[in-house]
Chain A
């Protein structure tokens, strides 16, 4: 098995007040292969968002470590994590992912620009990705001129365009109707196969969950199922 992401003994406790402690994750251990299409499911409050944030270096775990492609992410500085996110991880959030003042094309090129790629390179890659996602006619629009489904596709395009090793998508379909949700999932599945990028997404929609080949179920901050199908 070609392990790409290892999560060892991850625990997370929030302390919103001095006296209050919220245990969001307890002793999570996971192995995820390169190129996997993984779903994190579980009821609301089970810790999906928290886990994705820790994997992506957006939040620190209180215990345990995250190893991404052989590199230990735990304990890295903010600037180092920022560089890893820029170069290796793509993010898709539940809604309003896009930078509102930039056009679709500029949004998609944004990370590539951060990576220092040339305009020519950005143009080529942008066209390639937007054609795959069927949004190449939206390039000149601003985010607020798009429907929710279109916005999510642009967000996926932005994430994938920068050629990350891993895409983390936190409930990317939660704000979409079921038809739009399904077509977004189909596109993500295609990208997973064609681009070979590892994708971990969270959802509590059974239709969406069914698309995954590796299903992890959380409850009360613990893994209660970790199954591979297909």
Chain B
């Protein structure tokens, strides 16, 4: 019986081929658009989150109490060894880095700007956040004798410096004295973390300790975990071990990024609703017309012993065919497109260079999440189901058997 139902439903769709194809395409194209937007917007958001985590916050950052409100050299994490011994043994920790930070001033012969001076260990940063991947010009090195500096690309632009240019870095050291060091730019970074691109001057940790007269303490310990589902757990553990330190997750440090993830979810929901409406209206229109033109056909079927419930099933199956074929094509196109943009990336700088200004990566690598397809499938399923309820009511009310004699 089910086969017969499917056979009649399928044959009816094929008979009204053009109409069926139009609805299927409507659903497929709107889903395709939905998936493409979701994947690219998602990729954009995750890329921003990812670059903030890699270049700065890690999944978790540890600071001295009060440092974030008043980032002064006097507020340092001093019991580094004790923390490290915990991190080394924590099973979820993938890597961590120590950074020494101080606000200061950078000057060239012509320009000067306030900057954030960050003393780092490049080897550790390489392993930790693959910071070398953000090198835009020059190399990921401080050169011989650590006389180099790696600076953000916007800062480089504003200072009009190139690789090899000389810069003077000055800051207040831990004794309250102004101290300075002369460095040459060895690399320029483009992290798409706006704060870094505009303000950061990275120099070797050793040089930074000399400049700032700090022997041991660090300003920040950034930790990356193997799996971001363990972040909250580790944060709790560290907090209980080190109650006097400020231990914050990336989303607490970059609330705007979390916000954009929440916004993305909202956007996806609205887009799914739109697709739901497109699918529901498309199927509704086609099925209503189709039911009305087949009154006599259904009348004959009822007369010769088909039950109304069997006719109803035919109508449902037709609707599901339309919805699921549309959904299938949409998913196929969508997955294909997203896969392409996942591998090749989508270069938005072709359209505008405003992305740089917003601190967004101009090349977006799409992401593909099963949830995109599951949500769409659920939306289309509901649409196919709901859209035939009215046509079925109309069918029942118009008494198809009476249509037999109205030749």
Give the docked Cα–Cα distance between A98 and B405 (Å): 14
Q: Give chain B nearest CB distance to A204 CB in angstroms.
A: 15
The distance from the CB of B37 to the nearest CB of chain A, in whole angstroms, is 38
Contact of B407 with A86 in the complex, beta carbons under 8 Å: no
Rounded to whole angstroms, the CA-CA distance of A216 and B104 in the bound complex is 113
Complex Cα–Cα for A186 and B33 (A): 63
CB of B15 within 8 A of CB of A116, answer no
| Contact of A102 with B8 in the complex, beta carbons under 8 Å | yes
The secondary-structure label for the interface of chain A is: mixed
Size category of the binding interface on chain B: 20 to 34
List, in ascending order, chain B residues with CB within 8 A of A83's CB: 305
A17 part of interface (Cβ distance < 8 Å): no
The bracket for how many chain A residues form the interface is: 35 or more
Q: Say whether B407 contacts A95, CB under 8 Å.
A: yes
Contact, CB under 8 Å: B304 / A158: yes
Beta-carbon contact of B407 and A96 below 8 Å: yes
Q: Given the complex of chains A and B, what is the CA–CA distance between A111 and B148 in angstroms?
A: 88
Interface string of A107-132 (1 = CB under 8 A from B): 00011011110000000000000000
Contact between A94 and B306, CB atoms less than 8 A apart: no
Mask for B295-322, Cβ within 8 A of A = 1, else 0? 0110011111111101000000000000
Provide the bound-state CA to CA distance between A49 and B404, in Å: 11
Within 8 A of B (CB), among A33-82: 49, 53, 56, 58-59, 78-79, 82
If A100-B15, A102-B11 touch, does A111 touch B304 (CB 8 Å cutoff)?
yes
- Assess whether B307 is in contact with A82, with CB atoms less than 8 Å apart: yes
User: Does A27 make an interface contact (CB < 8 A)?
Assistant: no
| A172 to B: closest C-beta gap in Å | 13
Decide if B1 touches A86 in the complex (CB within 8 Å). no
How far is it, in angstroms, between the C-alpha of A94 and the C-alpha of B403 when the chains are bound?
12
Residues of B within 8 A of A59 (CB): 401
Residues of A with C-beta under 8 A to B307? 79, 82
Please indicate the chain B residues that have their CB under 8 angstroms from the CB of A98 in the complex. Answer: 300
Of chain A, the residue at the smallest CB distance from B305 is A86
Q: How far is the CB of A171 from chain B (nearest CB, A)?
A: 10
Which chain B residues lie closer than 8 Å to A99 at the CB level? 8, 297, 300-301
Interface residue? B69 (CB, 8 A)? no
Contact of A150 with B by CB under 8 A: no
CB-CB under 8 A from B11, the residues of chain A are: 101-102
Contacts of A93 in B (CB 8 A): 300, 303, 404-405
Question: A101 touching B303 by the CB < 8 A rule?
Answer: no
15 A-B residue contacts at CB 8 Å?
A: A56-B303, A58-B401, A79-B307, A82-B305, A93-B300, A93-B303, A93-B405, A94-B407, A99-B297, A100-B15, A101-B8, A101-B12, A102-B11, A111-B304, A114-B4
Interface residues of B (CB under 8 A from A): 1, 4, 7-8, 11-12, 14-15, 296-297, 300-308, 310, 401, 404-405, 407
